Amino acid sequence: MTSRRGLQIALTVLGVVAVVFGCHGVVTGVAGVRGSGADDDTSPSPNVDSEIRFFAAWYAGVGLLLLQSARAPESHGRLIRGVCGVLLMAACGRVLSIRAVGRPSPLFRALMGIEFAIPIVVVPWHAKVARSVAR
């Protein structure tokens, strides 16, 4: 799928996922993180819960920016590349977490793989669409 419409759909899906899960994180905090231990007798640190909710709001905000860029992706190259760069940095953060505290569940390792793949796919795709629209 190399079309402009395909890119619009992909950006919309990514944006919706970010908004939904970002809002979920703001509302649920650390209790919404699968395998966080918030379900058992231990209480999560208020600092960790606060950080989760804070970063979840940023995640939702990035999703809104992706939704905005999906309308005319050829006009939002800097934004799309920036979001992809941040996503790549987030995936690298997961690698640092693995090195610092160990491997998370398979779900979170799969998410890391997706986070590495999205920029590799979306940035060249956007460049191709932008070039074709400019002609």
**Average pLDDT estimate for 91-119:** 96
Tell me, yes or no, whether 40 lies in a domain: no
Backbone angles phi, psi at 44, to 5 degrees: -70, 155
Task: Evaluate whether residue 16 is within a structural domain.
Answer: yes
Q: How many structural domains comprise the chain? A: 1
CA distances from 33 to 10, 82, 134 (A): 25, 26, 43
Task: Please state the pTM of the whole predicted model.
Answer: 0.89
**Is residue 38 domain-resident?**
no
Q: What is the number of other CB atoms lying within 10 angstroms of the CB of residue 46?
A: 10
Look up the domain containing 68 and give its range.
4-33+45-134
Pair of tokens at residue 53: 């909710």
Q: Which DSSP letter does residue 45 get?
A: P
Q: Given this model, what pLDDT does residue 31 score?
A: 87
Does some domain include residue 39? Answer: no
Amino acid code (one letter) for 108: F
The confidence score (pLDDT) of residue 29 equals: 92
Lowest mean pLDDT across 1-10, 16-25, 118-127: 1-10
Residue predicted with more confidence, 38 or 23:
23
52 found inside a domain: yes
Report the pLDDT averaged over residues 49-62: 96
Residue 62 pLDDT: 97
**How would residue 38 be classed by pLDDT, with cut points 50, 70 and 90?**
low
Q: What is the mean pLDDT of residues 94-122?
A: 96
